[in-house]
A = this chain, B = another copy of it.
Amino acid sequence: MGGSSFGHQFRVTTFGESHGAGIGVVVDGCPPRLAIGVEEIQHDLDRRRPGQSRLTTQRQEGDVAEVLAGLFEGVTLGTPIAILIRNTDAVPGAYEAMKDLFRPSHADYTTESKYGLRDWRGGGRASARETAARVAAGAVARKLLRAAAGVEVLAWVRQVHEIDAEIDAGGVTEEAVEANPVRCPDRERASAMAAAIEEARRHGDSLGGVVECVARNVPPGLGEPVFDKLEADLAYGLMSLPASKGFEIGSGFAGTRLTGSAHNDAFVTGPDGRPRTLTNRSGGVQGGISNGEDVVVRVAFKPTATIAQAQQTVDRAGAEVSLEAKGRHDPCVLPRAVPLVEAMVCLVLADHWLRQRAVDVLP
């Protein structure tokens, strides 16, 4: 009950500190006979990897996935899939100077409040490094969704600091997202975002922003009507990502400024005879259950807490001190947050897709 598991039917449990032996994940409940190779997991890991461009941290984590269990001759066995990613680039010495400090807007103080101690060699369990394990599990979920239901999940950067991209969620392609290091399919704004991030780096500062994600071909009927609404589980998963401060689905906060008559999504009969909506302010979910339209969500990420400017803080003894972070850090997590958002959305959808299999069983 330490809160390191996610999902019910497709259930993942992650482990690992940033500077221990490694991080990893166990996926329990993945159906057997799913064809998947370690290279598909590695592919998603590589998208999350630091050091992909000047815009993100220059650390070379070189995350290599080793499948310890659950795969055999290229397919899943139906047993737990365990994936280990060794820590290699760990330089704990860099943290020694800060072992008695509480970095502002980091988890140092709260970790000590909770546990009475912490692994001070980096962020420990609170490190964003833990998300590599989620991405590995998300790659399995993605493959299941694709193979079993044709669902595709794609995310991109929608906003960095004051720069808002103009994007039609329906038309974005993976190629357009990966075409630039910011992972923003609006090429013009992507350049402006890159410049802003570079500027922040030069000032030892950092920027936040918004990632948008769409899931296409989600069949109607996923999600539960009360607590485990699809948007509730999406919010739960996405707000569990480090640095996330907000979540919205469909019209979100902006939708609160419309009237009901302007906000409701009128139904029409689609070409296949199934009800479709003319608009998608619902974001693909109504009453907690998918309606067959694109599921569209957005996540707010705060500016990275680690900055190279001097900051006021306190140490364990209560003394007020000035902290100046050293080391290599992301001036903006948004580009690397894209695969994280996709991974969490895949985990939620795979879980609900399987849950629905256990419900829809009678004629």
Choose from B2, B30, B236, B291 the contact partner of A113 (Cβ within 8 Å): B291
Closest to A119 in B: B72
Q: Cβ of B114 and Cβ of A359 under 8 Å apart?
A: yes
Q: List 11 interface pairs A-B (beta carbons < 8 Å), by A numbering.
A: A1-B11, A1-B29, A31-B362, A33-B116, A77-B117, A111-B289, A162-B257, A228-B240, A248-B300, A263-B302, A264-B307
Choose from B111, B207, B362 the contact partner of A287 (Cβ within 8 Å): B111
Q: Cβ of B312 and Cβ of A267 under 8 Å apart?
A: yes
Report if A57 contacts B (CB, 8 A): no
> Which residues from B are CB-within-8-Å of A314?
267-269, 275
Choose from B228, B260, B273, B358 the contact partner of A305 (Cβ within 8 Å): B260
Report if A301 contacts B (CB, 8 A): yes
Report if A328 contacts B (CB, 8 A): no
Q: Cβ of A113 and Cβ of B221 under 8 Å apart?
A: yes
Q: Which size bracket describes the interface of A in this complex?
A: 35 or more
Q: Cβ of A302 and Cβ of B256 under 8 Å apart?
A: yes
Q: Cβ of B260 and Cβ of A78 under 8 Å apart?
A: no
Contact with B along A338-363 (1 / 0, CB 8 A): 00000000000000001111111111
Q: Cβ of A266 and Cβ of B313 under 8 Å apart?
A: yes
8 Å CB interface, A144-185 against B: 147-148, 159, 161-162
8 Å CB interface, A250-272 against B: 250-253, 255-269
Report if A48 contacts B (CB, 8 A): no
Q: Cβ of A109 and Cβ of B68 under 8 Å apart?
A: no
Q: Cβ of B260 and Cβ of A82 under 8 Å apart?
A: no
Choose from B2, B5, B72, B209 the contact partner of A79 (Cβ within 8 Å): B2
> Which residues from B are CB-within-8-Å of A5?
5, 11, 13, 28, 227
Report if A62 contacts B (CB, 8 A): no
Report if A126 contacts B (CB, 8 A): yes
User: How many angstroms between the C-alpha atoms of A324 and B246 in the bound complex?
Assistant: 35
Q: Cβ of A80 and Cβ of B250 under 8 Å apart?
A: no
Q: Cβ of B359 and Cβ of A265 under 8 Å apart?
A: no
> Which residues from B are CB-within-8-Å of A305?
260, 264
Report if A142 contacts B (CB, 8 A): no
Q: Cβ of B28 and Cβ of A13 under 8 Å apart?
A: yes
Report if A231 contacts B (CB, 8 A): yes
Interchain nearest-CB distance for A197 vs B (Å): 11
Given contacts A4-B79, A255-B302, 6 further A-B contacts (CB under 8 A): A2-B28, A15-B69, A26-B26, A77-B124, A125-B225, A256-B300
A34, A69, A249, most chain B CB atoms within 10 A = A69
Choose from B226, B237, B251 the contact partner of A14 (Cβ within 8 Å): B226
Choose from B221, B238, B245, B258 the contact partner of A255 (Cβ within 8 Å): B245
> Which residues from B are CB-within-8-Å of A287?
106-107, 110-111, 123, 126, 242
